[in-house]
Structure 1
């Protein structure tokens, strides 16, 4: 199979492979990763508007997302004209503090607007981009209370109670999530490529319930969970979480897990037979959870994608079983056990791949949603 190539348009070099983690990255190196995050200028508006720099006759840059026709063909000519006094500087660059952060709208490299009167640095370069961010369902970093270093964008929840941050490739949390995905892909098929990692900050109620349970039971582990999706959240970078109560992915992000929905699928409303009773099912094997992510799959011109959760799960007291199925788990729970782990054949059990089941919906919360490419 041909090696994966750098995803920066125009670069044909092989993508960087880290032999220690076994991860194939999206780009050939950090330089091209950074260039890819800085959305390149789109084709200019046309010859009807020409660059205001005297010696340039190129068409001006037209921003299709905001509908704004700029005065110059590129940032270089804009800066040159302003430096020579031939063009006034925009308000948001006047007297801005040295090293002011960039506009929080993804793709904009302008500095954030600085209000000289209040000495406040805003989240965006101006009102146009603030309105565009709101239209996309994005939350300003200042309202989110999150340090936006290494974060591409932040989505707000259905009721504002939770947040989802799209992490840049160099965010410190990304490498560990990718490493766990690769190292726990035990099936014979090749390991898919993790394209994107989204970090979930649960609502206060969800987190408090989980924290109380985990504090009492302990034995917290990170486990994978695959499920169905009705929308393109996580796959389409401009798609915020949907509000459909039957979209499993968006409902879990918003409200965490529900025992009443265990075994159901948002596609067709069919209930699966549950191996170890009415519980919440996870696995330490990413390729096992991939089997349950089938109905999150979307085909695009660039490949076939799925999404999967990485969750914190408080296992408490674990009952390990070699049995392939348990019809009634109540006798086990009455003995003081909080979870059931089905053992693999390698460990003396009957399963090909491990399954972990908890029976309290406060025992688990989603921490990350990953987007990965199958082909």
Structure 2
């Protein structure tokens, strides 16, 4: 049986028609799939994009929106690179960018926009509470001390000696600043505290101080009378600052051997401190021009103090049976403000560097 084949052009025409129909159906399928894909979240690709009644967003939820890559789209503006700074140093509103520093003060927000948004939202004063007990390394909440964990404590001590800036909303900043104001007794207005730095001493140095404190406590048994071990107190010390340590967030110790802005155990016959911040201010000097002055707030093992009302420049040690000399103000005495003098460097360690208006 013979079969008559259609002409070549007819066959091609039929095949062309079939191919066109197939391609059209495939194109429709691709478009349908693309439309379905485009309606899904750009992050998880599983849930539909969120529509707020006016605008279709690129993600399905806030969770996926937070995972969006740092690129700009019509529905998602470019995201700023996340800061690696501790939470305590980030803007109190957006929590992404570092707080703005104007050269003297570190403000609560990164810029005017966040400051305005925070005020409008009525949360301008809330961040100070959230920072009240923040770890000085990571910003996480802590129960006591300056760190939230042994891990953060170890990070700090490995870099010792080092200064860690305390945020203005922190409880430690408030405690140090309040003591500075309360102990300003000169007949001048008390300057504003601008910055506070926690001094992290080397473990070996701290161990020597703690050993001396334990010895004094064993002799005097001060804790039994309700006082701190070794009769430890916080006292001010003013000195000359050759460098600009503490200015504008500068926490780098200089290499000068004569700069006393940080701890220098060579103070002559005695190491002088005072409970009066304004007296220590009299001894605070800058070699380089600065808008700020610096004093140290120290931990001092007072022990049993020998009280004196008159100067005695010949002393090189406290009288036998005493651990320090307490120079007190009295009628007919030679002192206008109190002084505490120790005669061993292990009796004192700097605890905070305080920067205030010059």
TM-score normalised to structure 2 length: 0.55
Residue pair 1:298, 1:306 contacting (<8 A) in 2 also: no
Q: CA deviation at 1:324?
A: 1.9
Partner of 2:130: none
How far apart, CA to CA, are the structure 1 residues paired with 2:74 and 2:275? 57
Residue pair 1:323, 1:349 contacting (<8 A) in 2 also: yes
User: 1:310-364: CA deviations, max 9, x gaps?
Assistant: 000001111001122241344x43x121100111125x63310001000110000
After TM superposition, the structure 1 = structure 2 runs for residues 35-50 of structure 1, keeping only pairs within 5 Å, are: none
Whether 1:349 and 2:333 are equivalent positions in the alignment is yes
Judging by fraction of residues, say which structure has more helix.
2
Partner of 1:104: 85
Describe the SS at the equivalent of 2:171. Answer: coil
Q: In structure 1, which of residues 286, 301, 308 is the aligned counterpart of residue 295 of structure 2? A: 308
How far apart, CA to CA, are the structure 2 residues paired with 1:193 and 1:280? 26
How far apart, CA to CA, are the structure 2 residues paired with 1:326 and 1:238? 37
Residue pair 1:293, 1:307 contacting (<8 A) in 2 also: yes
Describe the SS at the equivalent of 2:283. Answer: helix
Q: CA deviation at 1:298?
A: 3.3
CA change 1:103–1:366 in 2 (3 A) is: same
Paired residues in the alignment total 225
Partner of 1:171: 170
Residue pair 2:273, 2:340 contacting (<8 A) in 1 also: yes
Describe the SS at the equivalent of 2:206. Answer: helix
Residue pair 2:237, 2:298 contacting (<8 A) in 1 also: yes
User: 1:250-279: CA deviations, max 9, x gaps?
Assistant: 3x1xxxx41xx215xxxxxxxxxxxxxx01
Whether 1:262 and 2:304 are equivalent positions in the alignment is no
Partner of 1:34: none
Partner of 1:294: 285
Q: CA deviation at 1:238?
A: 3.9
After TM superposition, the structure 1 = structure 2 runs for residues 243-262 of structure 1, keeping only pairs within 5 Å, are: 243-250=255-262, 252=263, 257-258=264-265, 261-262=266-267
CA radius of gyration, larger in:
2
CA change 1:345–1:148 in 2 (3 A) is: same
How far apart, CA to CA, are the structure 2 residues paired with 1:215 and 1:83? 67
Whether 1:237 and 2:249 are equivalent positions in the alignment is yes
Partner of 1:68: none
Q: CA deviation at 1:178?
A: 0.7
TM-score normalised to structure 1 length: 0.53
Residue pair 1:305, 1:373 contacting (<8 A) in 2 also: yes
Structure 1 residue runs of 4+, over 4 Å off? Answer: 105-109, 156-159
Describe the SS at the equivalent of 1:248. Answer: coil
Partner of 2:191: 192
After TM superposition, the structure 1 = structure 2 runs for residues 154-233 of structure 1, keeping only pairs within 5 Å, are: 160-217=159-216, 218-233=230-245
Residue pair 1:342, 1:349 contacting (<8 A) in 2 also: no
User: 1:173-219: CA deviations, max 9, x gaps?
Assistant: 01111111011111111111101111111110111011111122101
Judging by fraction of residues, say which structure has more strand.
1
Gaps in structure 2 of 5+ consecutive residues: 1-68, 98-134, 147-152, 217-229
CA change 1:238–1:357 in 2 (3 A) is: closer
Partner of 1:337: 322
Backbone CA RMSD of aligned residues: 3.5
How far apart, CA to CA, are the structure 1 residues paired with 2:201 and 2:344? 17
Residue pair 2:241, 2:259 contacting (<8 A) in 1 also: yes
Residue pair 1:232, 1:239 contacting (<8 A) in 2 also: no
